[in-house]
Amino acid sequence: MLKVIALVGNPNVGKTTIFNALTGMRQHVGNWPGVTVEKKEGIMEYRGEEYLVVDLPGIYSLTAHSVDELIARNFILEGNAEVIVDIVDSTCLMRNLFLTLEIFEMGAKNVVIALNKFDLTKKKGIIIDVEDMEKVIGVPVIPTNAKSGEGLERLKRTIVMMAEGKITTAPIIPRYDEPIEREIEHVSALLKETPLVKKYPLRWLAIKLLQRDEEVIKLVLKHLGRAKMDEILRHVGELEDYYKRSLDIVIASQKYEFLERLLRRFVRHVAEVRETFSDQLDRVLTHPVYGMLSLLIVFYALFQFVFTLGAPLQELLDGAFSALGEMLGLYIGNEALRGLIVDGIIGGVGSVLSFFPLVFLLFVGMSILEDTGYMARMAAMMEKYMRMFGLPGKSIIPMVLAFGCNVPAIMATRTLENERDRIITMLINPLVPCVARMTVITFLAGTFFPERKAIVAVSIYAMAIALALLSALLLGRLVVRGEDIPFVFELPDYSIPSWKTVILHSWERSKEFLHKAGTVILAGSIAVWFLSSYPEQVGTGTSYAEMLGRTFEPLAKLMGLDWKAAVSLIFGIIAKENVIATYNVIYGVSGEALGEVMASTMTPLQAYVLALVTTLYMPCIATIGAIRAEGGNRWALVAVMYNLLLATVVGIVVYTMGSVL
């Protein structure tokens, strides 16, 4: 079994760049067990030996306020790593070493500090005496510059020596006020009598109990019993009365004071802090007016980049799959088998795989925005507005991208650190009208409201977006439970992204699309092909799909629609454009002729309801696959059921109100 090296650190310290430098192309991206937080693993080779490198989520502390913190904490506690590499931003030692002290308090001794961005310290007038820092902190400290590769060879050598037991350490442990230390000793003495002593550092457990850590309280309660736990919590309350603040805050404050005293022993500031280029850019890019204008320009550029480059590639792939289907169709004599392979498998799966260029280019664009530091500014500007609906500022990115396509937009929710925020953003994303639904909206608006088509289309878009934001509020309160994460924002310095990192990161994120979404699409495409082909082809009135449409006709009638609309919506599950394409098949005409036929059989109100329901109801099969891949079966089911319910209710209300008016 390979020895495990864990990388831990704050967000934006260059952890991903160091991970890529250590592992090269030998990486695997998956999810941590039971959650959808991204887990990256890779193989580091050094002098013929291989080591498994695990990139833990970027975190600021180990308080278990978020899934990310809990994952990192449990990984360190369970002793899975032979070596923990703590990646620290040299220009922000106070904030970064807070996490380091928490790791030391957990009893971890096998720690190496990578002092990253060391080249920037001189520019900021910061002098760090690395030898003194090693003596004070008690573990090896290696200055690095992840982008240039400086220091990485020495880092590798130190990691390997520690993994082989050739380096001994003595990590410094923070000390607190006498009343707190006395209570830590008291709680530790109680815990000594339990089996916990064999698995956990008692001092760490005691500190976490004083901080009222819910996970630790649950753990200790099983072994210590309710009476002793109540005694501990009573003492905590007494201390909080003494300090007139939560002990969580008191302990954090005293840890920072301890850290400040340490830093004086190996850090000097030799120059005044001057306005940097990043500061100057921020005055424009985070300005309430200029910042919003910049945001619109950046999104426009991102859309142009993804769809200008990706659309031709998508069409090329789509054409290739069509050509493949036609070619295979010539060699398959059995009609049923030909239909299954050509229309069901190649037609269905191929139409989804053709999205891959868009997905990959989107992640390239997102990685560039992340690595330049702009993503943090974007989130900071939108935070105030999105929080009104229970979402973080960063949620604006997947929502805007959804106007292009929901599939890459759902995958873009990976950039949200908090699980609750990510799930809610994922669930409301299909309510944002994508390009496919835009074709249905524009066709129906142009056919039935030729004089007011723009207003009609905008009204449907506005209603969909308003419902998406209100749904975020509703789902956040009733369905997707989670802790309210403390509001922490960091604006890293702007930097030029490494193309190697951008490409690697984009590939690792987007290749999941190929083998995860594809499996669901395959099953779904075959099912829809079967329904539309048996016992007779759709259009004959006897296919299962049409029978299904007539089954749902009573429900459709509540929205003023008939069985043809129900069938169209069923086929729209494959791709929303199929809503109109199905009418082509049923009426046997297309283009303007189809518009004339539909206008003679439907009222403008019915057309408006059909456009609205098409926008809101069940996500397309590719989007469902993406939600399942990112959030699991449960949230894919919630998305389907919620959208169906919402579309039905809205459809009935709008039709009823429109009939009265």
DSSP string covering 106-167: TT---EEEEEESTHHHHHTTEEE-HHHHHHHH-S-EEE-BTTTTBTHHHHHHHHHHHHTT--
Q: Which residue has the tokens 């306020």?
A: 65
The widest CA-to-CA distance across the chain, in whole angstroms, is 86
Distance CA(548)–CA(569), nearest Å, equals 11
Percentage, residues of the chain above pLDDT 90? 37
More confident residue, 383 or 472: 472
More confident residue, 141 or 377: 141
CATH assignment of 178-269?
1.10.287.1770
Q: Please, where in the chain does CATH 3.40.50.300 lie?
A: 3-164
- Angle (CA) 99 102 104, round 5°: 115
Does position 50 have pLDDT exceeding 70, yes or no? yes
Does position 38 have pLDDT exceeding 80, yes or no? no
Binding residues: 9-16, 20-21, 23-24, 34-38, 55-58, 116-119
As a whole number, mean pLDDT of residues 20-25 equals 81
Q: Look at domain 3-164 and name its CATH class.
A: alpha beta
CA distances from 469 to 388, 421, 441 (A): 9, 13, 21
pLDDT tens-digit map of 426-458 = 999 999 988 778 778 888 988 899 888 888 888
pLDDT at residue 83 in the model: 96
What amino acid occupies position 564?
Answer: K
Return mean pLDDT, the chain: 85
* DSSP H or E segment with residue 4: strand 3-9
As a whole number, mean pLDDT of residues 650-654 equals 96
> 377: which residues sit within 8 A by CB, 6+ positions away?
282, 285, 286, 291, 491
What number of residues does the chain have? 661
* DSSP H or E segment with residue 377: helix 374-387
Does position 54 have pLDDT exceeding 80, yes or no? yes
Q: Which two tokens stand for residue 4?
A: 């495990």
> 73: which residues sit within 8 A by CB, 6+ positions away?
62, 64, 106
pLDDT at residue 614 in the model: 94
Does position 550 have pLDDT exceeding 60, yes or no? yes
Kindly indicate the confidence band of residue 417, based on its pLDDT and cuts at 50, 70 and 90.
low
What amino acid occupies position 345?
Answer: I
Which residue from 86, 118, 87 is spatially nearest to 103, judged by alpha carbons?
A: 86
Binding residues for GTP: 9-16, 34-38, 55-58, 116-119
CA distances from 128 to 36, 93, 257, 272, 548 (A): 39, 10, 19, 16, 72
As a whole number, mean pLDDT of residues 552-561 equals 92
CA distances from 411 to 82, 216, 427, 516, 622 (A): 33, 33, 12, 12, 12
pLDDT tens-digit map of 186-196 = 999 999 989 99
Binding residues for Mg(2+): 20-21, 23-24
What is this structure's pTM? 0.64
pLDDT at residue 377 in the model: 84
Q: Which two tokens stand for residue 9?
A: 């650190």
CA distances from 290 to 285, 296, 392 (A): 6, 10, 21
Q: Please, where in the chain does CATH 1.10.287.1770 lie?
A: 178-269
Distance CA(194)–CA(204), nearest Å, equals 15
